[in-house]
Chains A and B, each alone.
Chain A
Amino acid sequence: MTVPVMLARGVTKAFPGVKALDNVTLRLEAGRMVALVGENGAGKSTLMSVLSGVIQPDAGAIELDGHAVRFANTRQARQSGVSAIFQELSLATNLTVAQNILLGSEPVTALGRIDYGRMNETARRVLDRLGLQISPTARVGSLRVAQQQGVEIARAIREKARVLIMDEPTSALGREETQRLLRLVVDLKRDAVAIVYITHKFEELAGLADEIAVMRDGRLLTQAPYADMTQQEVVRLMVGREEPGTAARNEAQAVAGTALEVRSLSLRHPIRPNDYVVRDVSLRVGRGEIVGLFGLIGAGRTELLEALFGAHGQRTSGEILVHESPVRVRSPAEAVGAGLALAPEDRKHDGLVLGMSSRENVALARTGLRNSLAFLSRASEAALVSPLLQRLGFKGPSVEEPARSLSGGNQQKVVLAKWLAVGPKVLLLDEPTRGIDVRAKSDFHQCIRELAARGMGILFASSEIPEVLGLAHRIIVLSQGSVTGEFRAVGTTPDQLLTAALPRTSREAMLT
C-alpha cells in the first residue's frame, strides 16, 4: 500500500458536553476523492477543522506523507498544502479576485511596490487553468457565490494544495453552477489533489467519489470504496437504522379559507431606479396548504419572501392579505403583528443571535410583542421553550448553551420554535433545510406538514427540486422576479419545473 498523502490517525476532540470526534482515522490519497457523509452533528465539520488547522485535536496524530505534523493554524496548514473551503467563504470581499488569490504572497517590484501586472497575470493563469471566466480585477464582492467559490479554489490551487477539503460546496449553487464546480473537481483529481468532499447530496457523488466515509456521533464508521456501497447502506450507517420510507404525502386537506394572499407585489431594485427585483407577483396560500417557491439563484425567491415580511420597507408595493383581511406590512415588526413569520435563508446571521442561548433566542419574538418593561421570568421562558423545541426534535446539549454551538439542524429548529412561540398564521421559510442532513431534513419536513395540518399556511423557497416536489402541495416557479409557472406537486416532473425556472435571457446573464 502506498503512503497516503494525508492520514488522520485516532483523532479525538471534545467540546464541553460532547465528544465531537472519537478516535477518527481517515486516509487520503493523491488524486482520489473521499466523500464524507453523516448527519448533522456527526462531526464532519469538526474533522474538517482539525485537518485544516482551525482547531487542534486533543489526541491522535495527523501525518503528511508519513511524517507527523501539527498545524497551529490554517496558515501553517495551507503552507503544507492543506486547504479547506468552508461554507462561509473566507474571502476579502472588498479586494479584487487577484488580490485575494495572491493574498499574503503578492509579487513586488524592485522598489517594493506590488506588481499588479504580474499579480493579475498569475491570477489569470490560475483561473484559466480552472476554466473560470472571471476577471482578475473584478471585486470579489461583486461576484456570485459560485464564482467566489471558484476564487477560493483558485487560491488553494495557487498555493499548490495537495489536499483540498470542501464543505458542502454546492449548497448555495444552482444546477448549472453545480455542474461546473463538479467538473472542476474532476480536473483537480487529475492533478493529483486529494479531495475530501462533505455533502448531503448523493446525486453529486456518482462518477466522482472514489471512496465514501461515513460518520456518526463523532466516530468514523467506515471508509470504503464508493462502488462497494449502495446508497441505502450508506444512509443506514448514517442514521443507525433503516431509512424511513418516503413519508406518505397528503394532498392539502381542504381547509376552508385563505391564509395568505398577495396581489401585485413588486420590489424596486435598491439602486437602479426603474428596475424591479420582484415584479408584479400575485399568489395565494390556503390554510393548511404548503406552497413551494422554486427558482434558480437570482430568481428573487429570497427577495420575495423578505418583501412579504416587510424587510424592504418602502421599496415594496402591492397588497397583502392575511386570513382574508388586508394588512399593512412595512417592517418585520408589522409583519409579525399581522401573523407572518420568516425563517431567513442565512439562519446563522439573520435568524439567530448566536451569542444568546436557545432559550433567549426562542423567547425573542414573543418578548418583542410584549410590553417591553414587563419583567422576564426565566422559569416561564423555559416552560415555553423546552416543549416547543422537544416537539421539533431538538437535540442540542441544553437550552442554555449559546446558539453558536449548535449544529445547523438544531439552529433551524430554534428559529422555527421562535416563531411557533408567537403562533403565526403564515410561515415563510427560505431554504429551510440547506446544509441539513438527510434525517434532520425529513424530520423537519414532517414538522412542516404537521403545522400545515393544523391550519397554518406555509410558503417555502427552495432550490432543491426533490425538496420542492416532496414537500409542497403546490409549486410556484419564479424567474427573474416574476412568476413563470404554477404546478400541482402531484404529477409534476423536475423537467417541467426547470423549464419554467430558466431565465429567457440566460445566456446574457451568464456572461455578466
Chain B
Amino acid sequence: MKRLLPGSARSFQSLGALLLMVVALSFATPKFLTVVNELNILRQISVNLCLSIGLTLVILAGGIDLSVGAVLGLSGAVAAGLLKSGMAFPSWGFELQFTVCGALLAGVLVGALAGFANAFVITWLLLPPFVATLAMLSIARGLTYLWTGGLPITGLDPAFDFLGSGFVLGIPLPVWIVAVLTILASLLTTQTPFGRHLYAVGGSERAAYLTGLSVKKIKVWVYVLAGALSALAGVIVTARLDSAQPNAGLGYELDGIAAVVIGGTSLSGGQGSVWGTVLGCLIIGVLNNGLALLDVSPFWQQVIKGVVIILAVVLDRWGARQERLT
C-alpha cells in the first residue's frame, strides 16, 4: 500500500528535495546545521504542521478549508482572554475563572465549533467548501477583532507560556505535541475505516455514498478536526508569544495549503498522505530558515516560496507519470 508509508516513489522526490536543500544550506552557512537551529526549525514548523494536518484531512476528503488561519487567531485569542479575565455572566451574577488547561480546552472547542459551522454550511446548506470556509475566514477574523477590541491580550499565566516555549527532554514541547498528532493522524488515515472512507469520499463522493458510507458524517468530522487542530495551533502560537495578537494566523491558510500540495496531496481529493504534508512543512520551514540565515530579504523569500510550490507540483506530476509508466 503506497500511501501507508512515506516510502513511495512520489514522497522520495520531496524527501530528496529536502535533503538536497539541507546539504546545500549546510555548505552555504555554518549556522544552519546546528542543533539549536534544527530545533528552532522544528518549533517554527510545528504550528504550520499542526493546522496542515487538519487541512490534509479536509483536502483528502475532497474539500478545502480557507478558514484555518482565522480560526487559529480566534481560538488563540479566546484562550488568552479566558485565561486572563475569565468569563463574566453579569445577569446571572457569576463569573467563570479558567485554569491553563481549561483555557486550552475552551480554545480548542471554539475551533471545533467553527469547523462544525463550516461542515453545517457545506453539508446541509450545500455551499461549496471554498465559499463556506472563505466566509468563515471573514467571520472568525471579525470575531477575533471583536473579542480583543483589536488589541493584543498580554500578561498571561507563566504556566501557559510553557506550552509554547517549554522543553521536554531537550525538545520543544510544541514539537512533541505535533509529533504525537502526526502519528495519530497517520494511523487514522491509513489504518482505520474512517481513514479509508476519507479517501473514498475524496476519490468519488457518489460512489462512497452509494456504498452506504455516511458521507455527511465523515465530512463533519473532517472539518471539526481541521478546526480543532487550527485552534490548538492558535493556542500554541499564543503561548509562544505570551500574548494573543488579533492578527495571529493571518495568511496561514496559504502556507498550510502550500505544505499539503508540496507534500504531494492532490487538491482534487483522494490522493496523498499525512507524511507528505510533514515533508511539505519541513521543506517550507527549511527554506524560510535557510534564506533568513543567508540574509535573503523576506520579500525574496516569498517569491522563492512560490517558485518552490510550482516546482514541487511539477516534479510530483512527473513522478506520478513515471510511476504509471514503469
Contact = CB atoms under 8 A, between A and B. Distances in A.
A281 to B, nearest CB: 20
A418 B196 CA distance: 14
Contact of B196 (A351, A355, A364, A371): A364
B192 A373 contact: yes
B209 A367 contact: no
Contact of B204 (A332, A353, A372, A378): A353
Contacts of A364: 196-197, 200, 208, 211, 213
Interface in B164-202: 191-194, 196-197, 199-200
B210 interface: yes
B210 A368 contact: no
Contacts, number: 92
Q: Provide the main secondary structure of the chain B interface.
A: helix
Contacts of B263: none
A337 interface: yes
B210 A309 contact: yes
Nearest to A422: B212
A144 B181 CA distance: 51
A182 interface: no
Task: Report the interface size class on chain B.
Answer: 20 to 34
Interface stretch (A222-230, A342-350, A390-398): A342-350
A16 B208 CA distance: 28
Interface string A354-378: 1111001001110111111111101
B271 interface: yes
Contact of A332 (B200, B211, B270): B211
Contacts of A16: 324-326
Contacts of A371: 193
Could you say which of B191, B199, B200 has the most chain A C-beta atoms within 10 Å of its C-beta?
B200
Contacts of A373: 192-194
Contact of A375 (B192, B200, B206, B325): B192
B209 to A, nearest CB: 6
| Most A Cβ at <10 Å: residue of B194, B196, B212, B324 | B212
Interface string B90-107: 000000000000000000
Nearest to B323: A16
Contacts of B204: 349-350, 352-354
A417 to B, nearest CB: 12
A64 to B, nearest CB: 27
B203 interface: yes
A369 B204 CA distance: 19
Nearest to B208: A353
Given A350-B207, A368-B213, A356 B200 contact: yes
B200 A335 contact: no
A347 B207 CA distance: 9
B123 to A, nearest CB: 13
Contacts of B210: 309, 311, 332, 342, 344, 350-351
A357 B208 CA distance: 14
A336 interface: yes
Interface of B: 1, 191-194, 196-197, 199-200, 203-204, 206-214, 270-271, 324-326
Interface of A: 16, 309, 311, 331-333, 335-337, 342, 344, 349-357, 360, 363-365, 367-376, 378, 400, 418
Closest 5 CB pairs of A and B: A336-B212, A367-B193, A353-B203, A372-B194, A372-B193
Given A16-B326, A352-B204, 15 more contacts: A309-B210, A311-B210, A331-B214, A337-B212, A351-B210, A353-B204, A354-B204, A364-B213, A365-B212, A368-B197, A372-B193, A373-B194, A374-B193, A376-B193, A400-B1
